[in-house]
Amino acid sequence: MDREEQRVALVSGLDDPVRRRLYDYVSASGEAVGREEAAAATGIGRPLAAYHLDRLVSLGLLAADGSTNSPRDCWPRRWSQSRAARH
């Protein structure tokens, strides 16, 4: 994927209003946030928040820490703005 295709993917990834609210919230927080906190702040359920947060990670807009080896391990996962998205 060339640079222009990457830009289009990023912009289209923020086209969804829920995903955009989550991105704006996490980016403005200045620190990593949990799924429950992000869901509550944006008025959506935890599963939907987790889906969109992970999608933002796959686009390179957010970074995630925490284990994802099993559903139980993903509970402490936290998201923050990726270094690439800051530039």
Residue 25 belongs to domain with CATH number: 1.10.10.10
Residue 85: which of 1, 15, 5, 6 has the closest Cα?
6
Q: What is the span of the domain harbouring residue 52?
A: 3-86
How many other CB atoms are there within 10 angstroms of residue 75's CB atom?
Answer: 13
pLDDT tens digit sequence for 24-79: 999 999 889 999 999 999 999 999 999 999 999 988 889 988 755 444 444 557 87
Domain count of the chain? 1
Quickly state the pLDDT bin for 12 (edges 50, 70, 90): confident
Give the separation between CA 61 and CA 22, rounded to whole angstroms: 11
pLDDT on residue 51: 94
Contact 39, 55 (CB under 8 A): no
What's the whole-model pTM score?
A: 0.74
